[in-house]
Amino acid sequence: MKYVLTLIGNKTAPLASTHVEAARSALPSPGGTVWLAEAHACDIPFDGDPVAAEAAARAALGGAKIDLAALSAEGRRKRLLIADMDSTIIEQECIDELAAELGIKPQIAEITERAMNGEIGFEPALRERVGLLKGLPLEALEKVYRDRITFMPGARELVATMRADGHACALVSGGFTFFTERVAHAVGFNTNQANRLIFVDGKLTGGVAEPILGRQAKLDALLRLRDELGLKPHETLAVGDGANDLAMIGEAGLGVAYRAKRVVAEAAGARIDHGDLTALLYLQGYRREEISG
């Protein structure tokens, strides 16, 4: 069997035998079902066109809130994870939460949404939003991290499991080092990168250090780490939700759109719309008993 269809349930929609049988019936020459986690995740090997098979399985499941992906059965476990931060490893957009401290969250969130959808350029959008934060004190950033930032369910387990297997995990963000440094430490990433806010006398100047790290910087990080670790392209995994993640998602051996904007979900090799981040482990063939954290 050259390919495997992975089905993944979630807390509100457990994976039932009816889901599995519906998906199996849509696959060409399916093999035996392999359960990765009872009532939660399974693999179904098959031969044939993976794109057509995945589309057929989605149609067979109708509107069931079950995630699925048809991927190669070879080389499933990846040795490098490159992850976006905002709305991927954490549940918020940091810049929107900073804006809330000034009472301008709707204004900034609208710009964030357009940038993540690819409707406007990331770099000018970031400069515009940071400019609106001028005067915000460092204490406000500390308050936002302490009181507003929460980790995406499954984030710690994803990173801990891959690192326990000796694999590298990098947090790459178009956000700010103030947050990536803290999130990377808390979740367990090896490295992190992001943009640097400029402070004078403990307050934001409204500026951000150049060059702006956006889509190209994320791709460059993937390529650099891949080369440093001596990995082949298929040994890499990238995950994100916004338009500035498209380049790294497209370059990775497994590119995953996680609860992503439509433009990203349509372009990625795999998409997770309902489950938590442990879904990325099941896509790699991990079993529940192998998951750390």
Q: Where are the beta strands (DSSP E) in 122-224?
A: 168-176, 191-195, 197-200, 203-208
β 197-200/41-46 pair status:
unpaired
Task: Give the CB-side neighbour count of residue 109, counting CA atoms within 13 A.
Answer: 14
Contact assessment for residue 112 and residue 93, using Cβ atoms and an 8 Å cutoff: yes
State the catalytic residue, choosing from 43, 84, 241, 245: 84
Biggest alpha carbon–alpha carbon distance for the chain: 67
Could you say which of 67, 86, 245, 276 is catalytic?
86
**Residues with Cβ < 8 Å from 61, sequence gap 6 or more?**
19, 22, 23, 68
CA angle 260, 261, 262 (to 5 degrees): 115
CB 23 within 8 A of CB 57: yes
Between β-strands 3-8 and 34-37, what pairing exists: parallel, antiparallel or unpaired? Answer: unpaired
Q: Is 276 a known active-site residue? A: no
Name beta bridge partners: 34.
Answer: 43
| 43: annotated active-site residue | no
The residues assigned a catalytic role are 84, 86
